[in-house]
Amino acid sequence: MDRAREIEAIHQLKARYFRLMDTKQWQAYGELFTEDATLAASPDPKETFSGRAEIVRRVSAALREATTVHHGHMPEIELTGDHSATGIWAMYDFVDLPQLVLHGWGHYHDEYAKQDGTWRIHSSRLTRLRLDITPKPREEKG
């Protein structure tokens, strides 16, 4: 196993995660996950999505009317086996929804699995250090 090549493949996987989510390419976004993946990215720590299909359905619904920008920085990747790895990514996100604007800072804690020669996200949990939410004024109707 070429460690540097494997770590770079995981970097590329997470870069695609952010880009595909921000550009709303949901089919390709779903392919980044294992079939049995879990995602806990909500501000509500009890809310976890289970399975690739549910992750895509719930994330796409939550961001349907949003303009988003997600950045991942300073990855700490550890190869834990030939087909497993963990990663921690510092993150920033900007989410502009009709009712509010969110700015968030924190970390993604990921587990990766290599399946059929391709790294995929097996689990991802977002922990936040700071979350700034600004409500938008309601539009007055006629």
Residues 126, 51: Cα–Cα separation, whole Å = 17
Domain boundaries, the chain: 3-135
Whether the predicted pLDDT of 142 surpasses 70: no
DSSP 2: -
Q: pLDDT tens-digit profile of 102-122?
A: 999 999 999 999 999 999 999
Residue 42: what pLDDT? Answer: 82
For the domain covering 3-135, report its CATH number.
Answer: 3.10.450.50
Strands 118-135 and 33-40, by their bridges, are parallel
Q: Look at the block and give the residue holding tokens 């501000």.
A: 43
pTM of the model: 0.93
Which of 119, 120, 110, 113 is closest to 41 using CA atoms? 110
- Asked if residue 93 lies in contact with residue 71, where contact means CB atoms within 8 angstroms, the answer is yes
Mean pLDDT of 75-99: 98
What is the chain's length?
A: 142
Is the confidence at residue 140, as pLDDT, over 70? no
Question: What distance in Å separates the CA atoms of residue 103 and residue 68, rounded to the nearest whole number?
Answer: 10
Q: Is the pLDDT of residue 37 over 80?
A: yes
Res 1 pLDDT > 70:
no
Quick one: DSSP state of residue 32? T
